[in-house]
Amino acid sequence: MLYIYNMSSKAKDDLVFKALASPIRRDLMDALRNNPQTTGELCAAFKALGRCSIMQHLGVLEEAGLVVTKRVGRQRWNYLNALPIKRIHDRWIGAYATEAVNLLDRMKNEMERERV
């Protein structure tokens, strides 16, 4: 696990994109959005998948930093960590969204000038 701490930011982003590429992992993240759940609860919610599959998907999400786990007795609680998604948003979407809003504002102003 030590290698994760030594990875570059680009490598961390690659893990996040890999984790987000799977619809099953996105569904797991949606299930954790409002509150943490035990692995058993997630397995019960995703009956079509076996426990081993759920554990593998959770492992990918955990490696990407999107899920944080905490053991309490025999239970393993899974918490959604949205900070890696925010980092992706800030880098890849935020700047483009700002430009899109500016473009819409310019278009609105031009249309209003043409009406007068």
State the total domains in the chain. Answer: 2
Instruction: Examine the domain organization and report whether 8 and 33 are in the same domain.
Output: yes
pLDDT score of 94:
79
pLDDT score of 7:
53
pLDDT score of 3:
47
The helix/strand/coil state of 80 is strand
pLDDT score of 65:
96
Start-to-end Cα distance in the chain: 65
DSSP state of 92: I
Instruction: Examine the domain organization and report whether 37 and 57 are in the same domain.
Output: yes
pLDDT score of 113:
87
Instruction: Examine the domain organization and report whether 38 and 2 are in the same domain.
Output: yes
Task: Give which of 87, 85, 68 is closest to 77, Cα–Cα.
Answer: 68
Stretches where the chain sits below pLDDT 70 are: 1-10, 116
Instruction: Examine the domain organization and report whether 56 and 22 are in the same domain.
Output: yes
Virtual CA dihedral for 95, 101, 106, 109, nearest 10 degrees?
A: -160
Range of the domain at 115: 82-116
Instruction: Examine the domain organization and report whether 13 and 50 are in the same domain.
Output: yes
The domain that holds 4 is classified in CATH as 1.10.10.10
Q: Residue written as tokens 């492992």?
A: 59
Instruction: Examine the domain organization and report whether 51 and 101 are in the same domain.
Output: no
pLDDT score of 91:
84
Six-digit token string for 27: 């569904």
